[in-house]
Amino acid sequence: MKKILISILLVMISLLGACAKEVPNNNDNGDNNEEEQPIVIPDYKVYTLHISTKDNKVIDSKETYVKGTIEVKDGEFKTEPLSMEIRGRGNSTWALFP
């Protein structure tokens, strides 16, 4: 059984090696006539959601609502703090992250 598993593993490694993409060799001897293209990184605006509870109270219950404020921000845009109530949700993470 061990020999069969080792054989299968070797075959899989060989197949992965055969599928590898060949990287062109960059020779710096001036034979390359292609110009390098700059990498363009798109400018994304990431909005952040800020939740603040009254008196920095911890949200530790799924039944009890806690009063607080909520704001949406990015580099230029910002909402006024809006009042809200929040409570816990979910199932599995309550035991993991008290």
Which of 58, 54, 69, 56 lies closest to 97, judged by CA? Answer: 58
Vertex 84, ends 81 and 88: CA angle to 5°? Answer: 125
What does the CA dihedral 4, 9, 14, 15 come to, rounded to 10 degrees?
100
Number of neighbours of residue 68 by Cβ within 10 angstroms:
19
β-pair partners for 71: 50
SS3 92: coil
Q: What is the pLDDT of residues 14-61, one digit of tens each?
A: 777 766 666 666 555 555 567 888 888 877 778 889 999 999 998 888
pLDDT for residue 41? 81
Domain boundaries of the chain, sorted by first residue: 47-98
pTM of the model: 0.48
